[in-house]
Amino acid sequence: MKSLAISLLLLTLVACSGPRASRTDQGLSPGVIESVQPIDLSNPAAPPEDGDDDPDPMPADSLVVRLDDGRTIYMTYTGPRRFEPGEAVRVRIDAATVFIL
């Protein structure tokens, strides 16, 4: 009876972990960061009557990512993570968005 319970428990664990693991890799393309350039997204052409002579800088990184399938992605990244050239990444390409993992 114990062996049956253990078998059912193991079967349940395998059944639950299998599809979820394969679903997380769907839609992700592996690639490598080719270049990282810091950029400023603040508005340099702010109107003078604005009263703000020196707008707050909005730092971002301009990334070039070469995917393993040969495609190249150019993107602007504003998140907290810092990327280095040569770093392996995964990119999710959607109909409306591209984001990097």
Is the pTM higher than 0.75? no
**In whole angstroms, what is the distance from residue 19 CA to residue 17 CA?**
6
Share of the chain above pLDDT 70, in %: 60
Are 35 and 64 a contacting pair, CB within 8 Å?
yes
- 72, part of any domain: yes
In a domain, 77, yes or no: yes
Burial group, residue 100, by CB count within 10 angstroms (0-12, 13-18, 19+): middle
How confident is the model at residue 36, as a pLDDT? 94
* Number of domains present in the structure of the chain: 1
State the average pLDDT over residues 5-20: 52
Q: Is residue 74 part of a domain?
A: yes
- Segment 16-24 shows an average pLDDT of 46
Average pLDDT over residues 6-20: 52
pLDDT at 41: 82
- State mean pLDDT over 39-61: 71
Which structural domain range is residue 95 located in? 29-100
31 CB-contact burial (10 Å; exposed 0-12 / middle 13-18 / buried 19+): buried
Q: Has residue 52 been placed in a domain?
A: yes
Place of tokens 């114990």: 2
